[in-house]
Chains A and B, each alone.
Chain A
């Protein structure tokens, strides 16, 4: 069984530019998560989807971050415009049911300069 795929693995952009991350969850997994992990901290949930509907986006900075999962499978997370404090690893995860473990991709390391 293939794992959660994320791309790109690394991205360096200048502040005020835009960037997008892509995630392909494990086949058949209805729940998809995007987390932000700042160096030295635990992952912080940005948004959680159940199929193509949003379950929780309470910690998503909606003035600059957006995410979509149009067909209930792949998802993209976008930042526009980026700030220096957005430098972090962005992790995508998926699970088959809301009460089972989540499986994580390798993440995208974003550096904003």
Chain B
């Protein structure tokens, strides 16, 4: 069965500092990987995805993520965090056969001014 692990419940970072949110996955075959962000009382918003190709993918709002096949990881990064980046972040995986989209437990990001 496929699964996603987000080992940190919360990440605290000062505004202007780099932000990293960790994600590891387990799936059969080639993975399709996604990051979503959730603000209070809102649905999930898509940030970026890795399907194939370059291991570094760029997404919305200055976020990027690095796919590492050997470490089965897909960490989300932002070079300079903003207070408005404070939210709940979810990593998700789907196998290449297009089966179900599985989410991790989420990581709360708090960016302090």
Task: Verify A56–B100 contact, CB threshold 8 A.
Answer: yes
Kindly state whether residue B25 has any CB partner on chain A within 8 Å: no
Which chain B residue shows the least CB distance to A95? B101
Interface window among B14-22, B68-76, B77-85, B102-110:
B102-110
Contacts A97-B98, A99-B32, A103-B46 given; 16 further ones with Cβ under 8 A? Answer: A33-B101, A42-B104, A45-B100, A45-B101, A48-B100, A48-B101, A55-B99, A56-B100, A93-B44, A93-B101, A98-B97, A98-B98, A98-B99, A100-B49, A104-B43, A104-B45
Count CB-based A-B contacts (< 8 Å): 56
* A binding-site residues for B, Cβ under 8 Å: 4, 33, 35, 41-45, 48, 55-56, 91, 93, 97-107
Knowing A55-B100, A101-B34, say if A42 contacts B90 (CB, 8 Å).
yes
